[in-house]
Amino acid sequence: MNKEKFTVIGAGLTGPLLATYLAQRGYSVEVFERRPDMRKESISAGRSINLALSARGNHALKEVGLYDKIKAITIPMKGRMIHDLNGSTHLQPYGQKENEVIFSVSRAQLNMELMTLAEETGNVNIRFNHHLLSADLDQNKLMFQSYDSLEEIELSFNRVIGCDGSASILRKSIVEKANAQYVKKPLGHGYKELTIPPRYSGKFQIEPNALHIWPRGNHMLIALPNNDYSFTCTLFFPMMGPTSFKTVKTKKNILDLFQSQFPDVIKLMPNLVEDFQKNPTGDLASVYCKPWHLGGKALLIGDAAHAVVPFFGQGMNASFQDCSTLANLMGQNENDWETIFKDFSSTQVENGHAIANMAIENYLEMRDHVNDPEYKKRRNVELKLERMFPGQFIPRYSMVSFHKIPYAEVYQQGEKQFKIISDVLMADPSGQSIDKAMVEKMLS
């Protein structure tokens, strides 16, 4: 076993995956998690119950040997099922190929499997109920509070990696010590989780192989399927304003909102009012930070480095790709941690910023544009171009969800392709005819 020892902060999704990558290379890893062990105690993750797993996340799971086990508990979603105000629905497929689907997966189940996999390496110890209070990056000291003993504990580290989420304590120390650029941009919209339970017969109430969206302009409701035949629904809604989480609180407020905006959902949610009033309201923000490291001793990864809003389904996938990228750099620069951390930060920062920006843009698309005739026309042209130029013209959603192309490249290519679509529609506003020679020239 390698004598090098790593300290990882956070045993959410990213921490155990990263610990496994390190452990499989012979490193000793100690993971500190502020929550109890969810495999032994029933706890809320405090975040979404299910997530969308796509190509980047699947690739990382394959690398550590967990893919087959996780795939067995996922539900494929082949597109967006749009629910109009009048109750009509239509499916907008994510791609044009059979394998271009994303997968709904239980956050808790995935988290538990990742922790168990990490521990089974024999090189990983997870210490629960340990909350990081501060990090001294000069003296290589970490101060924790133990929720078991209520004592403050000071521990030394060789190298520390922060997988401690959007409110990262380690990030605060790195920003201060490295004089890093850091900004947290609130979205102004929050979210609340609701539930569509199974039918009395024990089956799904609505189509299971789709991500359901009720787009309503400045807000929307979405639903992802679960293996118990329920759907986890999330209402994305303004935090403040005349119609917002601040004002919609009473039973009458809630029912009025749903009767006016989501009338077809009321009959699917017998516990709507109770869930709305009982479940917490979460806030949404994007984190932009640069750099993500301090020398060869401290590094940020996942949400700690680049928290994104959830509208491209890439928070987990981007974090898992971080782990895969870091592991690849380990292979190229064995034990040269100054270079590994520096190269990771320099390559991944722009990707983190790119997916943060694309996630915000996708929110506008999901809540507003999906039913716009102009959007539908552009989408039809986009799919035609993909068929005409396979491998050269790949829709942005497909580049993000079904490929492992760096997000920064996706963003640049997406901008270029947006202009191509605009030029096609300028030549023929119907989008029926496409000047192939013109597009070939623009793609070259």
Return the pLDDT at 374.
86
Pull the structure tokens for residue 61: 């799971």
Question: What Rg, from alpha-carbon coordinates, does the chain have?
Answer: 23
- Element housing 230 (H / E): none
From the list 49, 22, 31, 20, the residue with the least C-alpha distance to 114 is: 20
Q: What is the pLDDT of residue 49?
A: 79
Please say whether the beta carbons of 81 and 202 come within 8 A. no
Read off the tokens for 422: 């605009």
Distance, CA of 362 to CA of 153 (rounded, Å): 43
Q: In this predicted structure, what is the pLDDT of residue 247?
A: 97
Q: Is 38 helix (H, G, I), strand (E, B) or coil?
A: coil
Q: Which residues pair with 31 in a beta bridge?
A: 8, 126
Contact between 110 and 47 (Cβ < 8 Å): no
Q: What share of the chain is helix, strand, coil (3-state, %, to 5)?
A: 40, 25, 35
pLDDT in tens, the chain (444 residues): 567 899 999 999 999 999 999 999 999 999 999 999 999 987 654 456 789 999 999 999 999 999 999 999 999 999 999 999 999 999 999 999 999 999 999 999 999 999 999 999 999 999 999 999 999 999 999 999 999 888 999 999 999 999 999 999 999 999 999 888 999 999 999 999 999 999 988 899 999 999 999 999 889 999 999 999 999 999 999 999 999 999 999 999 999 999 999 999 999 999 999 999 999 999 999 999 999 999 999 999 999 999 999 888 899 999 999 999 999 999 999 889 999 999 999 999 999 999 999 998 888 777 777 778 888 899 999 999 999 999 999 999 999 999 999 999 999 999 999 999 999 999 999 989 999 999 999 998
Q: Which residues does 404 contact at the CB level (< 8 Å), separation at least 6?
A: 55, 56, 59, 321
Cα–Cα distance for residue pair 56/102, rounded to 1 Å: 11
Q: What is the pLDDT of residue 47?
A: 55
Q: Looking at residue 45, what is its pLDDT?
A: 46
Task: Check residue 375 and give its pLDDT.
Answer: 85
Strands (E), 197-325: 211-215, 220-225, 231-238, 281-290, 293-294, 298-300
pLDDT of residue 171: 97
Compute the half-sphere exposure of residue 36: CA atoms within 13 Å on the CB side of its CA: 9
* CA 235 to chain centroid: 17
Residue-level pLDDT at 276: 97
272: Cβ contacts below 8 Å, ≥ 6 apart: 194, 254, 255, 258, 265, 266
